[in-house]
Amino acid sequence: MAAKHAGKAWLGVCLVSLLTACTQESGFSDLDQFMAETRAKPRGHVEPLPEFKAYEAFTYSAADRRAPFEPPVDVQLTMVDDQPVSDVEPDLDRPREVLENFDLKELSMVGTLQGPTGNLFALIRDNSGGIHRVRSGNYMGQNYGRIVGVSETRIELIEIVPNGSGGWVERPRSLSLDEEQG
């Protein structure tokens, strides 16, 4: 057994001497030279991180517009050059009535009267404090307003106003009983 141990020890001594002989030889001279040159060079400069810009919230302001992925709506022209000619026009030859000097905003209905034959009259107050009695067929307002109906709470009338293209158009209006002033 001692011979066995002596052989192992001898083998270990040979192996260690062989390894030391290999390391003593300078076979890494080119590597050592590269490392020396690299260490001698000036060190690199690391750029600072870019400045962070704060997030700005975006407000969507086109909510009332057409969605970009929907097809556009065909626009129909509402004003056509060839408008039908209306035969409505005010009677400029008739004598004007007293209440035609006031705008409808200046007039208020304050009550009604019933005649002996059953016909109903409306009482109108103008802006100067005067009270006037009117019935169907009378005129009032500055837009040729003709009274077409009188009830206990309101007056129905038809005004004739310009249509903007040289003609006239009829417009229904009403005047209700002003119970606060009555």
Within-domain flag for 109: yes
Q: Name the more confident of 104 and 64.
A: 104
Which residue segment(s) compose the domain that 126 sits in? Answer: 101-176
For residue 172, list its beta bridge partners: 158
On the question of pLDDT at 79 being above 80, the answer is no
Within-domain flag for 39: no
140's enclosing H/E stretch is: strand 139-140
The confidence score (pLDDT) of residue 45 equals: 81
pLDDT (tens digit per residue) in 98-122: 999 999 999 999 999 988 888 899 9
The confidence score (pLDDT) of residue 25 equals: 57
DSSP letter for each residue of 52-88: PPPP-PPP---TTSPPTTSPPPPPPPS--SSPPPP--
Task: Label residue 182 by pLDDT band (50, 70, 90).
Answer: very low
- Whole-model pTM: value is 0.52
Within-domain flag for 161: yes
Within-domain flag for 55: no
On the question of pLDDT at 53 being above 80, the answer is yes
Mean pLDDT of the 20-33 span = 72
Within-domain flag for 70: no
Within-domain flag for 149: yes
CA 171 to chain centre: 32
Within-domain flag for 135: yes
Total number of domains constituting the chain: 1
Could you give the 3-state DSSP secondary structure of residue 40? helix
What's the CATH number where 172 sits?
2.30.30.830
- Give the HSE-up count for residue 74: Cα atoms under 13 Å, Cβ half-sphere: 1
Within-domain flag for 80: no
